[in-house]
């Protein structure tokens, strides 16, 4: 027997579970049954595709089941399956450590709010440890399929665990795992057959494998005229593929509990979409939207949430081919009647049937979301609070569904409280307005106070505030919403819409008068700017920098360099000058003024600062500012 310590993260997790999560102790059974179901799924799949495991059929594997055995007197419960099983190494890695990346980050986010923290645990797939809410000792005996050794893992959930090889009568005769729970005082309430049946029906009724409960049942003996206990074994779940049943047969509670059984989530889903397709292809999909975004949503190694079945046989649950990456928050089932049972990941990537199912599934999910956005704004607002950003990612890669995604995404705005849609913004356009305008490139506060918005505020024209760090990348590829132009106010083309077409002669006269000063500022700044020109978009500020339509903004270049793209091109921005500003008027009044050089650099540097771009030479900026202050005091 070897004595081993828990990994630090496991110890932290166990302490949290045992001391903080007593509001839902009954879910220990859901988690253990779910683990058994997964083990049965994996072994059944391997016997279809792997020659090594095909030879094992008949060794108990051809009749997969989950068995619960209750001993009320000893206050113990045994959960057994005939699944894939675990080797000694597996027991250590699965039950003694948490290997998934991101778990340390998960633990660092624990808030002390028991309810919130319990939700996090469900999302990170560490539900086995919930057994220590109800047990003071747990024994896991397992034999891996294809191997002949049985090992037992034993722990009290506190200090560590023991592992030993089991021989003789105590060894398993076939592959699978047996979990023996010794209930503690809190868990003794579950040493009751009625309670166990109630929990199985509540959480695991739709597990695809039969669940049998063996217990002492009281029966009336007519001859002895007394009640006596008889050991019986009864199936306690429906053992049907729930998603194959008609929607009319299922209640909301059926859907919610099935969701919890396949995800480990503690909260009800926001909504679900159940579809059965018949015709050239036959398949069933059941998709759920979690109430809270998965913790690994923005991690490269995110865990997918859709399981693939073929004719009710589990195939895989970790394929990123089933839905596009921007829908990685979706949970659920795809069950195909037409895919081969031995389909591999490599085949999936090129499979025409799956491509068709995937395309149709995406359209179904987006169309259902659009319907909800129109008919249940309160619930849709909860969805957007969690998933607005992933939908924006879809704009960048899913061209076929771009128009629908544009309808679904929500935006901050200079006119609307909260979030608004493009359709709503379009309905508020001014009669003379030529496009829908937006601004990117900084925090919300920075963007709302940008000098670029001054003329739009003055004309009462709405501007959308796009402050996500991906917004500039995404929306630089989109120039239309339906038949309406989408324009960034920090790009050059938007200023063309603001020109006063009623007084072209006056504008030309003003530009001519400003020309010598603009030339002097350009000569002073040199290659730091591409062009210096009069601005039609400024009302109160003296200067602003803008980019050409096909160029990243200064803020975007800075962000890309921070992400490691050292070779980012450095196109010079355009400096726009407000011809009506007092500073510019003073410089115009005395073009020989020796302070033009300092003023030119200060106008440029302050425009950069307002864009959120750090100055390359702040010391020189301060020296210029001090000179100008000294001369003006």
Worst-scoring range by mean pLDDT, 380-389, 421-430, 476-485? 476-485
Whether 396 is in a domain gets the answer no
| Sequential DSSP letters for 312-373 | TEEEES--TTSS-GGGTT-EEEEEESSS-TT--HHHHHH-HHHHHHHHHHHHHHHHHHHHHH
pLDDT for res 19: 60
With respect to residue 9, please indicate whether it lies within any of the assigned structural domains. yes
The number of folded domains in the chain is 4
pLDDT mean over 210-216: 96
Sign of the CA dihedral running 12, 18, 22, 25: positive
* Total residues belonging to the chain: 633
User: Which string of DSSP letters, residue by residue, matches 119-183?
Assistant: HHHHHTT-GGGGGGGTEEEEEEEEE-TT---EEEEEE-SSSEEEEEEE-GGGS-SSSEEEEEEEE
**Beta pairing, strands 283-289 & 271-277:** antiparallel
Q: Which carries the bigger pLDDT value, residue 142 or residue 314?
A: 142
Q: Of the residues 200, 215, 240, which one is the last residue of a structural domain? A: 240
Tokens 């008919």 belong to 375
Q: Which of 406, 472, 412, 424 is nearest to 611 (CA)?
A: 472
> Taking 50 as the threshold, does the pLDDT of residue 118 lie above it?
no
Q: Both ends of the chain: CA-CA distance in Å?
A: 85
Between CA 225 and CA 305 the distance in angstroms is: 55
Among 193, 218, 240, the domain-final residue is: 240
Statement to judge: residues 251 and 371 lie in one domain: yes
Report the alpha-carbon distance of residue 442 to residue 444 in Å, rounded.
7
Is residue 283 in some structural domain?
Answer: yes
Q: pTM value?
A: 0.72
Give me the chain's average pLDDT, please.
Answer: 85
Is-contact 21 130, C-beta < 8 A? yes
80 with 108, same domain: the answer is: yes
Q: What is the CATH number of the domain that holds 458?
A: 3.40.50.11260
Higher-confidence residue of 476 and 380: namely 380
Q: Is residue 390 part of a domain?
A: no
- Higher-scoring residue by pLDDT: 553, 486: 486
**CATH code at 334?**
3.30.230.80
* Residue 78 near residue 67 (C-beta atoms within 8 A): yes
CB neighbour list of residue 86: distance below 8 Å, 6 or more residues apart: 94, 140, 142, 144, 151, 177
Q: What contacts 453, CB < 8 A, 6 or more positions away?
A: 414, 439, 447, 463, 489
> Is the torsion defined by CA of 165, 169, 170, 174 positive or negative?
positive
Residues 253 and 235 in one domain: no
In this prediction, residue 493 has a pLDDT band, given cuts at 50, 70 and 90, of low
pLDDT digits (tens, 9 = 90+) for 237-259: 988 888 998 999 999 999 998 89
Question: Is residue 278 located within the same domain as residue 233?
Answer: no
Verify that 232 and 352 share a domain, yes or no.
no
Angle at 450 between CA 448 and CA 455, to 5 degrees: 95
Range of the domain at 114: 2-240
For residues 202 and 348, membership in a common domain is answered with no
Could you tell me if 488 and 533 lie in one domain? no
* Structure confidence at residue 482 as a pLDDT band (50, 70, 90): very high
pLDDT in tens, 453-462: 988 998 899 9
Query: For residue 103, what pLDDT band results from cuts at 50, 70 and 90?
Result: very low
pLDDT of residue 611: 81
Burial class (CB in 10 A: 0-12, 13-18, 19+), 161: buried
**What value does the mean pLDDT take over residues 161-173?**
92
63: in domain = yes
Do 416 and 439 reside in the same domain of the chain? yes
Residues 27 and 148 in one domain: yes
Residue 124 has pLDDT above 60, yes or no: no
% of the chain with per-residue pLDDT over 70: 84
Residue bearing the bigger pLDDT, 492 or 615: 615
Spell out the residues 6+ positions from residue 225 whose beta carbon is closer than 8 angstroms to its own. Answer: none
448 and 314 together in one domain: no
- pLDDT for 391 equals 96
Q: Are residues 113 and 187 in the same domain?
A: yes
Q: What is the DSSP letter of 249?
A: G
Identify whether 400 is part of a domain.
no
Q: What is the CATH number of the domain that holds 13?
A: 3.30.565.10
> Are both 369 and 449 inside the same structural domain?
no
Mean pLDDT, range 348-375, rounded to an integer? 92
Choice between 266 and 210, residue whose per-residue pLDDT is larger: 210
Q: Which of 240, 260, 275 is the last residue of a domain?
A: 240
Cα distances from 235 to residues 35, 190, 240, 466, 530, in angstroms, run: 19, 18, 12, 56, 78
> In a 10 Å sphere around its CB, with 0-12 CB exposed, 13-18 middle and 19+ buried, how is residue 337 labelled?
middle
Is the Cβ–Cβ distance between 360 and 276 less than 8 Å? no
In a domain, 15, yes or no: yes
Q: What is the CATH number of the domain that holds 535?
A: 1.20.120.790
């Amino acid at each position: 027997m070897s004595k081993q310590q828990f990994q630090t993260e496991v110890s932290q997790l166990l302490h949290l579970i045992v001391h903080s999560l007593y509001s839902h102790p009954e879910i220990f059974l859901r988690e253990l049954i779910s683990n058994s179901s997964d083990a049965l799924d994996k072994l059944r799949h391997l016997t279809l595709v792997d020659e090594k495991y095909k030879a094992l059929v008949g060794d108990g594997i051809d009749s997969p089941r989950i068995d619960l055995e209750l001993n009320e007197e000893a206050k113990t419960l045994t959960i057994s399956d005939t699944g894939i099983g675990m080797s000694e190494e597996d027991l250590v890695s699965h039950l003694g450590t948490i290997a998934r990346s991101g778990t340390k980050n998960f633990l660092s986010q624990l808030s002390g709010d028991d309810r919130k923290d319990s939700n996090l645990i469900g999302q990170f797939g560490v539900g086995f440890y919930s057994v220590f809410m109800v047990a003071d000792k747990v024994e896991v005996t397992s034999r891996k399929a294809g191997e002949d050794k049985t090992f037992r893992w034993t722990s009290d959930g506190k200090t560590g665990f023991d592992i030993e090889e089991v021989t003789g009568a105590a060894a398993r005769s076939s592959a699978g795992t047996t979990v023996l729970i010794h209930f503690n005082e809190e868990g003794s309430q579950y040493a009751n057959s009625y309670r166990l049946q109630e929990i199985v029906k509540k959480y695991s009724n739709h597990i695809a494998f039969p669940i049998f409960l063996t217990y002492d049942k009281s029966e009336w003996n007519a001859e002895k005229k007394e009640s006596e206990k008889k050991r019986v074994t009864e199936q306690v779940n429906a053992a049907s593929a729930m998603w194959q049943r008609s929607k009319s047969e299922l209640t909301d509670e059926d859907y919610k509990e099935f969701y919890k059984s396949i995800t480990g989530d503690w909260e009800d889903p926001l909504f679900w979409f159940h579809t059965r397709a018949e015709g050239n292809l036959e398949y069933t999909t059941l998709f759920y939207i979690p109430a809270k975004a998965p913790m690994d949503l923005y991690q490269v190694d995110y865990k997918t949430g859709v399981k693939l079945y073929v004719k009710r046989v589990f195939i895989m649950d970790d394929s990123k081919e089933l839905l596009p990456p921007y829908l990685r928050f979706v949970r659920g089932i795809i069950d195909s009647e037409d895919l081969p049972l031995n389909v591999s990941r490599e085949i999936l990537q090129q499979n025409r049937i799956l491509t068709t199912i995937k395309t149709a599934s995406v359209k179904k999910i987006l169309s259902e979301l659009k319907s909800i956005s129109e008919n249940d704004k309160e619930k849709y607002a909860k969805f957007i609070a969690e998933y607005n950003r992933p939908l924006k990612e879809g704009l960048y890669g899913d061209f076929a569904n771009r128009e629908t995604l544009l309808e679904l995404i929500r935006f901050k705005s200079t006119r609307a409280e909260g979030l608004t849609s493009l359709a709503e913004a379009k309905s508020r356009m001014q009669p003379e307005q030529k496009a829908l305008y937006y601004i990117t490139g900084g925090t919300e506060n920075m963007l709302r106070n940008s000098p670029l918005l001054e003329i739009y505020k003055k004309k009462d024209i709405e501007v959308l505030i796009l402050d996500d760090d991906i917004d500039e990348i995404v929306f630089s590829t989109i120039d239309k919403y339906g038949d309406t132009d989408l324009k960034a106010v920090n790009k050059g083309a938007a200023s063309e819409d603001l020109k006063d077409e009623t007084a072209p002669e006056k504008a030309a006269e003003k530009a001519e008068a400003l020309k010598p000063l603009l030339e002097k500022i350009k000569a002073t700044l040199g290659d730091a700017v591409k062009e210096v020109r009069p601005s039609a978009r400024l009302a109160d500020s003296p200067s602003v920098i803008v980019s050409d339509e096909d160029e990243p903004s200064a803020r975007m270049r800075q962000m890309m360099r921070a992400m490691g793209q050292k070779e980012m091109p450095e196109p010079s921005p355009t400096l726009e000058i407000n011809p009506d500003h007092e500073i510019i008027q003073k410089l115009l009044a005395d073009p020989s003024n020796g302070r033009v050089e300092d003023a030119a650099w200060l106008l440029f540097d302050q425009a950069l600062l307002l864009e959120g771009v750090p100055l390359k030479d702040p010391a020189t900026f301060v020296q210029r500012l001090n000179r100008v202050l000294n001369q003006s005091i």
